[in-house]
């Protein structure tokens, strides 16, 4: 218990440290840009960063990490939330944290290490009075500014795996394809089960979250993905990478495939489930998952492909996540 309390204090201090540093820089988030009606032409207009090129956040902007992250061609992701002064998050079980109006979620995608790091794009989700708005911002070559890229775009990058790819920045509508439930834009990342209990506790201590919910941090950390039982890792991976569309009310609801963490029904998660509208995406296989037979499972076929029309997820990757495939493969192989 004492250790836990110590960690909590340390985490709270860390949050405070970020705040203090940003205060020194004198930056300030523009609530008008977050809450207003239009689409600000530059990322700088929001003031989310004290030093955007170095990704140093402004006051009220808090960094977070996910236990199991969504894979995007191996991009490094720098994640932040912004909470307006005097507001806080509300826990809602192990699911998505509830954000106050005026909040924002900011995610920067980068490739390259150390001095070689290049920021490619920053995506923002703005919680406005009439709902969430998702906007993509593309960094310039000089790394001095990120400009609104409503129509998305493509950037040549080399992934950490050494593959040269055409990386796709999503357009504004494609943002919604994944961030959509029953037609409305919603956040998908910050679910209590996929955030560390420690971070959540620090947020409570800092007065930015009402309480630490049951089930906080219950999804496994992806760090040790090569070891340990495959089932929780694979289910967490599918939940985080696939279930924002493959769920009731999601963009792929018509497929009937439901890959959410909490879905326990075998047919719904794909076991002996026939394809509906997969077309050649089925790859000649009859079922999404055949227990014990990853090479006969459509799920693996589509995860391994990079061909548009076959590759899953449809958006957000141009290369194959070999570690992700290996875990899901192991899960299916061990399945009886």
Q: What residue ranges bind another protein (CB under 8 A)?
A: 150-154, 166, 168, 171-174, 176-177, 180, 183, 248, 251, 253-254, 256, 267, 273-286, 298, 307-310, 314-315, 318
For residue 281 the two structure tokens come to 């995406």
Q: Which is nearer to another protein, 143 or 253 (CB)?
A: 253
Count other C-beta atoms under 10 Å from residue 321's C-beta.
21
Distance, in Å, from the CA atom of 327 to the CA atom of 323, rounded to the nearest integer, reads 6
Can you name the residues that pair with 306 across neighbouring β-strands? Answer: none
Q: How far is the CB of 265 from another protein (least distance, A)?
A: 10
Q: How far is the CB of 3 from another protein (least distance, A)?
A: 47
Distance, in Å, from the CA atom of 166 to the CA atom of 113, rounded to the nearest integer, reads 19
Q: Which is nearer to another protein, 152 or 232 (CB)?
A: 152
* Alpha helices for the chain (secondary structure H): 2-25, 31-35, 172-178, 197-205, 230-242, 298-304, 322-334
* Rounded CA Rg of the chain: 20
SS3 32: helix
Q: Which is nearer to another protein, 33 or 290 (CB)?
A: 290
Q: How far is the CB of 94 from another protein (least distance, A)?
A: 24
Q: How far is the CB of 151 from another protein (least distance, A)?
A: 4
Q: How far is the CB of 308 from another protein (least distance, A)?
A: 4
Q: Which is nearer to another protein, 107 or 138 (CB)?
A: 138
Count other C-beta atoms under 10 Å from residue 285's C-beta.
21
Give all strands (DSSP E) within the chain, no chain letters: 49-51, 56-57, 61-64, 76-82, 104-111, 118-128, 131-139, 146-148, 153-158, 164-169, 180-181, 184-185
Q: How far is the CB of 298 from another protein (least distance, A)?
A: 7
Q: Which is nearer to another protein, 200 or 310 (CB)?
A: 310
Q: Which is nearer to another protein, 116 or 182 (CB)?
A: 182
Q: How far is the CB of 256 from another protein (least distance, A)?
A: 5
Sign of CA dihedral 320, 332, 264, 191: negative
Q: Which is nearer to another protein, 7 or 181 (CB)?
A: 181
Q: Which is nearer to another protein, 26 or 284 (CB)?
A: 284
Distance, in Å, from the CA atom of 156 to the CA atom of 301, rounded to the nearest integer, reads 26
CA distances to 65, 79, 193 from 204, rounded to whole Å, are 16, 19, 16
Distance, in Å, from the CA atom of 308 to the CA atom of 318, rounded to the nearest integer, reads 9
Query: What crossing angle do the helices spanning 322-334 and 230-242 adopt, rounded to 10°?
Result: 130
Q: How far is the CB of 254 from another protein (least distance, A)?
A: 5
């Amino acid at each position: 218990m004492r250790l836990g309390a110590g960690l909590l204090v340390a985490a709270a201090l860390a949050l405070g440290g970020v705040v203090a540093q940003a205060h020194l820089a004198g930056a300030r988030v523009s609530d008008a840009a977050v809450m207003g009606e239009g689409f600000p032409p530059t990322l700088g207009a929001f003031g989310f960063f004290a030093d955007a090129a170095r990704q140093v956040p402004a006051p009220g902007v808090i960094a977070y990490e996910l236990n199991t992250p969504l894979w995007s061609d191996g991009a490094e992701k720098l994640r932040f939330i912004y909470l307006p002064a005097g507001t806080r998050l509300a826990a809602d079980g192990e699911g998505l944290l509830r954000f106050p109006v005026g909040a924002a979620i900011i995610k920067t995608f980068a490739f390259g290490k150390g001095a070689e790091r290049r920021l490619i794009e920053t995506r923002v989700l703005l919680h406005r009075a009439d709902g969430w708005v998702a906007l993509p911002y593309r960094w310039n070559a000089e790394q001095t500014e990120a400009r609104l890229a409503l129509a998305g775009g493509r950037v040549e990058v080399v992934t950490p795996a050494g593959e040269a790819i055409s990386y796709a920045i999503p357009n504004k509508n494609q943002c919604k394809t994944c961030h959509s439930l029953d037609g409305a834009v919603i956040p998908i990342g910050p679910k209590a089960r996929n955030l560390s209990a420690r971070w959540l506790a620090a947020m409570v201590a800092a007065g930015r979250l009402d309480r630490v919910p049951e089930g906080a941090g219950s999804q496994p950390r992806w760090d040790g993905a090569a070891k340990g039982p495959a089932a929780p890792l694979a289910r967490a991976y599918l939940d985080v990478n696939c279930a924002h569309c493959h769920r009731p009310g999601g963009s792929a609801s018509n497929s009937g495939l439901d890959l959410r963490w909490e879905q326990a029904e075998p047919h719904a998660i794909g076991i002996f489930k026939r394809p509906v509208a997969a077309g050649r995406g089925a790859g000649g296989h009859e079922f999404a998952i055949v227990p014990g037979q990853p090479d006969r499972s459509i799920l693996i076929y589509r995860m391994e492909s990079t061909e548009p029309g076959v590759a899953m997820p449809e958006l957000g990757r141009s290369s194959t996540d070999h570690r992700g495939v290996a875990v899901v493969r192991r899960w299916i192989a061990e399945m009886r």
